């Protein structure tokens, strides 16, 4: 069993009480509540219990994501990243104004197999932290980083209860993750808590526009609009047990809604996120080309983003 190094351990926090952690024979132990956490192949598993309501949704989503991470198609040659990964990383660098010599601690919340985080690592001098609820995904991310000898830290944790000390990170990036939880605001408030003063956050979510109201329904997207959200949540979670949720529980938002969620950040702004959409669930190449062209229009753009800066003196 390998353990996190001291520098990394110093910014970790117990997800149960928020106190610091220390190494023990069996893994990590909290200095406060004495809760014990295991370490798997150098990855600390820092998860706490969630409410019954959240647990029901998590169970549906995790069942779907497990199948995704078991599919080896998610792995690729890191020297030739897929178009969508390269495009996403390029937009992240532009919005956060990251340069080849940028330094600091960059955490991707809900990293999956770490594909975007790896691209960021290859074009900066940032200390990279990959966080996800799925240990299976993190083990794949670890493997991906090892292929290019890029250093990174990996943490199994929950966005709604981040296992980091307050004011410890410089950048938080979340690509299509906060929409998978009913407690979206809780996750965003956690982003602000763990950021240092002047730290930046960037999060992307599905855009509640014509695209999500039409072809987005083929994937089980739930528009964040009353009463449609309530009806679809009941249908997908209670009745169908996630049978038609291709991406797990997933909400879509308008730019105005997203701005309200990030209201506690200074210099916050929202926009249409430029990326390359593979649209893998559609096989017809001609139709794919039409949909990609339509996605340049704000009424069909599938992804929007929120960017903000933490400033302790103002919001």
Between 66 and 107, where is the model more confident? Answer: 107
pLDDT, the chain, mean: 87
Cα 131 to the chain's mean position, in Å? 8
> What's the confidence (pLDDT) of residue 17?
95
| d(C-alpha 181, C-alpha 123), whole Å | 31
Percent of the chain with pLDDT over 70: 90
> What's the confidence (pLDDT) of residue 74?
55
Secondary structure (3-state) at 161 = strand
**Using an 8 Å Cβ cutoff, are 110 and 132 in contact?**
yes
Span 13-25, pLDDT tens digits: 999 999 999 999 8
Span 82-140, pLDDT tens digits: 788 889 999 999 999 999 888 999 999 999 999 999 999 999 999 999 999 999 999 99
Burial class (CB in 10 A: 0-12, 13-18, 19+), 136: middle
Question: The sheet that has 169-175: what strands, in order across it?
Answer: 39-40, 43-46, 153-157, 127-132, 105-109, 169-175, 195-206, 303-309, 266-272
> Does residue 262 have a pLDDT over 90?
yes
Q: CA torsion angle for 191, 56, 113, 3 (degrees, to 10)?
A: 70
Q: Which domains does the chain have, with CATH numbers?
A: 1-42 (no CATH), 47-309 (3.40.50.150)
Instruction: Look at the pTM and tell me if it is higher than 0.75.
Output: yes
Span 130-171, pLDDT tens digits: 999 999 999 999 999 999 999 999 999 999 999 999 999 999
> Does residue 210 have a pLDDT over 70?
yes
Please state which of the ranges 27-41, 106-120, 287-301 shows the lowest mean pLDDT: 287-301
Placement of tokens 């009806």 in the chain? 231
Indicate the pLDDT class of residue 1, thresholds 50, 70 and 90: very low
**Using an 8 Å Cβ cutoff, are 106 and 128 in contact?**
yes
User: How many CB atoms lie under 10 A from the CB of residue 133?
Assistant: 20
DSSP secondary structure code for residue 91 in this structure: H
> Does residue 72 have a pLDDT over 90?
no
Of 249, 224, 226, give the one whose Cα is nearest residue 236. 249
Measured at the CA of 75, the angle between CA 72 and CA 77, to 5 degrees, comes to 140
């Amino acid at each position: 069993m390998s353990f996190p190094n001291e520098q990394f351990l110093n910014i970790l926090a117990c997800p149960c009480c928020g106190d610091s952690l220390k190494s023990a024979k069996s893994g990590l132990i909290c200095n406060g509540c004495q809760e014990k956490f295991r370490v798997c192949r150098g990855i600390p598993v820092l998860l706490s219990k969630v409410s019954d309501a959240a647990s029901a949704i998590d169970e549906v989503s995790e069942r779907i994501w497990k199948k995704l991470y078991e599919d080896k198609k998610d792995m690729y040659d890191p020297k030739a990243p897929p178009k969508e990964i390269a495009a996403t990383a390029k937009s992240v660098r532009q919005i956060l104004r990251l340069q080849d010599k940028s330094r600091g601690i960059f955490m991707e919340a809900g990293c999956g197999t770490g594909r975007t985080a790896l691209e960021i690592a290859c074009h900066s001098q940032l200390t990279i932290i990959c966080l996800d609820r799925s240990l299976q995904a993190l083990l794949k991310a670890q493997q991906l980083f090892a292929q290019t000898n890029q250093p990174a830290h990996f943490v199994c944790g929950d966005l709604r209860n981040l296992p980091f000390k307050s004011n410890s990170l410089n950048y938080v990036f979340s690509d299509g993750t906060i929409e998978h939880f009913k407690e979206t605001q809780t996750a965003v408030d956690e982003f602000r808590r763990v950021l240092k003063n002047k730290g930046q956050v960037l999060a992307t979510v599905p855009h509640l526009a014509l695209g999500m109201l039409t072809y987005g329904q083929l994937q089980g997207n739930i528009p964040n609009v009353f009463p449609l959200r309530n009806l679809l949540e009941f249908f997908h979670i209670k009745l169908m047990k996630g049978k038609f949720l291709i991406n797990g529980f997933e909400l879509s938002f308008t730019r105005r809604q997203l701005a309200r969620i990030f209201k506690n950040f200074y210099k916050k702004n929202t926009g249409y996120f430029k990326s390359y959409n593979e649209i893998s669930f559609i096989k017809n190449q001609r139709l794919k080309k039409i949909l990609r062209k339509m996605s340049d229009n704000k009424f069909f753009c599938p992804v929007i983003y929120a960017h903000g800066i933490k400033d302790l003196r103002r919001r």
